Amino acid sequence: MLCKTLLVFPTSRAIRTHISKDDSNRLLESLLSIDEFFFKSITVANYSFIDEEHRFLLLKEATQIKNFSALGISNSFNDFIKQSEYLFRFFNEICAENIEFDSIKKADTYEFYEEHLCLLHTIYNNYCALLEKNKFIDKITLPKKYELNYDFLKQFEQITLFFEGYYTHFEFNLITKIASVIPLTLHLQTTPYNKKSYEKFIEYGFNLEENFSYELNISQKLILEKKPIKAFSQSIEIKAFSQSIHQVAYVQKAITKMIENNIKPEDIVLIVPDETFVQTLQLFDSNNYFNYAMGKEIKTSALYTNAYSLYQYLNEFEKKDIEYLSFLKQDIVYINETFKSHWGKPITKEIFTLTQNFLKKEELNKEILEKFEEECYKLENLVFNYKEPISFKEVYKFLLQRISTITTDDINSGVITVMGLLETRGLSFKGLIIVDFNEDIVPKRSIKDKFLSSSVKKHAKLPTRSDRENLQKYYYHQLCKNTSEIYISYIKNDTQSVSRFASELFNIPIDETLYDNAYKHILYASSSIKHFNEEIVLEIDLSQQEWSATSLKTYLQCKRKYYLHYIASIKEHHFSVKPQGFEIGTAIHSILEKFYSKYTYLEQSCPNTILNPYFNEYKEQNPFIFLDFEIWKRKLEQFIENEKQEFLTKEKKVYKTEMPFKFTYQDVTLKGIIDRIDKGKDFFEIIDYKTSNTLSVDTPKNYEKSVDFQLEFYFLAMKEYLEKNPFSTYSIKPYYYDLNKAILLEELLLDDKITMLKEILKSLKTTEVNFTKCEDLSVCNYCPYKVICNRE
Query: Does residue 454 register a pLDDT over 60?
Result: yes
Q: Give the C-alpha distances (Å, rounded to integers) separating 329 from 92, 304, 309, 334, 336.
A: 48, 15, 11, 12, 14
Strands annotated E in 158-313: 158-162, 184-190, 212-217, 222-228, 235-241, 268-271, 290-292, 296-297
Dihedral sign from CA coordinates of 344, 345, 349, 351: negative
The rounded distance, in Å, linking the Cα atoms of 499 and 504 is: 9
Choice between 572 and 228, residue whose per-residue pLDDT is larger? 228
Which helix (H) or strand (E) element contains residue 466?
helix 465-481
**Among residues 314, 310, 300, 326, which one has the least CA distance to residue 404?**
300
Query: Does residue 420 register a pLDDT over 70?
Result: yes
Q: Is 587 exposed, middle or buried (0-12, 13-18, 19+ CB in 10 A)?
A: buried
**Among residues 790, 777, 757, 783, which one has the least CA distance to residue 562?**
783
Q: Which amino acid is at 25?
A: N
Lowest model confidence (mean pLDDT) among 48-57, 262-271, 675-684: 48-57
Strand 147-148 to strand 42-43: parallel, antiparallel, or no bridges (unpaired)? Answer: antiparallel
Query: Does residue 679 register a pLDDT over 80?
Result: yes
Over residues 286-292, the mean pLDDT reads 88
Question: Where along the chain do its domains lie?
Answer: 5-44+146-228, 48-144, 235-294+413-524, 302-408, 538-577+595-609+636-780
SS3 string, 317-338, reads: CCHHHHHHHHHCCCCHHHHHHH
Query: Does residue 180 register a pLDDT over 90?
Result: yes
The rounded distance, in Å, linking the Cα atoms of 258 and 38 is: 39
Contact 686, 710 (CB under 8 A): no
What is the fold, at CATH topology level, of the domain defined by 538-577+595-609+636-780? Lambda Exonuclease; Chain A (3.90.320)
Q: Which amino acid is at 218?
A: I
Identify any residues that bridge with 433 across adjacent strands, giving them in sequence order. 270, 487
SS3 string, 541-562, reads: CHHHCEECHHHHHHHHHCHHHH
Contact 210, 191 (CB under 8 A): yes
**Those residues with Cβ within 8 angstroms of residue 714's Cβ, 6 or more apart along the chain or in another chain:** 672, 674, 686, 688, 734
Percent of the chain with pLDDT over 90: 63
Lowest model confidence (mean pLDDT) among 20-24, 227-231, 325-329, 527-531: 527-531
Identify any residues that bridge with 738 across adjacent strands, giving them in sequence order. 690, 743
Q: Which amino acid is at 475?
A: Y
- Report CA Rg, the chain: 38
Q: Average pLDDT of the chain? A: 89
The rounded distance, in Å, linking the Cα atoms of 493 and 344 is: 43
Q: Which amino acid is at 606?
A: C
CA atoms in the 13 A half-sphere facing the CB of 520 = 12
**Among residues 654, 618, 669, which one has the least CA distance to residue 737?**
654
Over residues 61-87, the mean pLDDT reads 87
The rounded distance, in Å, linking the Cα atoms of 295 and 292 is: 5
Polymer length in residues for the chain: 792
Contact 439, 129 (CB under 8 A): no
Confidence band, pLDDT 50/70/90 cuts, at residue 297: confident
Q: Give the C-alpha distances (Å, rounded to integers) separating 304 from 66, 80, 89, 363.
A: 40, 24, 29, 9
Query: In what side-by-side order are the strands of the sheet with 290-292?
Result: 235-241, 485-491, 431-434, 268-271, 416-419, 290-292
CATH of 235-294+413-524, one of 3.30.70.20, 3.30.930.10, 3.40.50.300, 2.40.400.10: 3.40.50.300
Q: What is the DSSP letter of 45?
A: T
Query: Does residue 455 register a pLDDT over 70?
Result: yes
Confidence band, pLDDT 50/70/90 cuts, at residue 711: very high
Please provide the DSSP assignment of 253-288 as one string. HHHHHHHHTT--GGGEEEE-SSTTHHHHHHHT-TT-
Lowest model confidence (mean pLDDT) among 43-47, 67-71, 354-358: 67-71
Which helix (H) or strand (E) element contains residue 523?
helix 516-524
Query: CB atoms < 10 A from the CB of 750, how many?
Result: 16
Query: CB atoms < 10 A from the CB of 324, how many?
Result: 18
**Among residues 47, 42, 46, 36, which one has the least CA distance to residue 153?**
42
Over residues 550-564, the mean pLDDT reads 94
Confidence band, pLDDT 50/70/90 cuts, at residue 442: very high
Query: Does residue 576 register a pLDDT over 70?
Result: no
Query: Does residue 36 register a pLDDT over 80?
Result: yes
Query: Does residue 1 register a pLDDT over 50?
Result: no
Lowest model confidence (mean pLDDT) among 563-577, 683-697, 705-719, 759-773: 563-577
In the chain, what is the straight-line distance between the N-terminal and C-terminal CA atoms, in Å?
76
The rounded distance, in Å, linking the Cα atoms of 677 and 683 is: 10
Q: Largest Cα–Cα distance in the chain? A: 120
Over residues 365-378, the mean pLDDT reads 94
At 125 the pLDDT is 95
At 281 the pLDDT is 93
At 126 the pLDDT is 95
Identify any residues that bridge with 35 across adjacent strands, giving them in sequence order. none
Q: Give the C-alpha distances (Å, rounded to integers) separating 707 from 555, 556, 754, 789.
A: 9, 6, 12, 21
Burial 615-636 (b: 16+ CB within 10 A, else e): beebeeebeebeebbeebbeeb
Contact 149, 156 (CB under 8 A): no
Identify any residues that bridge with 574 across adjacent strands, giving them in sequence order. none
The rounded distance, in Å, linking the Cα atoms of 606 and 596 is: 14
At 50 the pLDDT is 93
User: What confidence tens digit (pLDDT) does each residue in 489-547 have?
Assistant: 999 999 999 999 998 888 889 999 999 999 988 887 655 556 677 899 999 999 999 99
Contact 677, 655 (CB under 8 A): yes
* C-alpha 562: how far from chain center: 37
Choice between 108 and 471, residue whose per-residue pLDDT is larger? 471
At 631 the pLDDT is 87
Over residues 269-293, the mean pLDDT reads 91
Collapse the DSSP code of 737 into the 3-class scheme (helix H, G, I; strand E, B; otherwise coil) and give the result: strand
User: What confidence tens digit (pLDDT) does each residue in 108-135 have?
Assistant: 765 677 888 999 999 999 999 999 999 9
The rounded distance, in Å, linking the Cα atoms of 33 and 174 is: 15
Strand 30-33 to strand 5-9: parallel, antiparallel, or no bridges (unpaired)? Answer: parallel
At 191 the pLDDT is 93
Dihedral sign from CA coordinates of 575, 576, 582, 588: positive
The rounded distance, in Å, linking the Cα atoms of 400 and 329 is: 20
Query: CB atoms < 10 A from the CB of 388, how many?
Result: 9
Report H helices in 599-650.
612-621, 626-650
The rounded distance, in Å, linking the Cα atoms of 351 and 777 is: 57
At 129 the pLDDT is 96
Contact 635, 691 (CB under 8 A): no
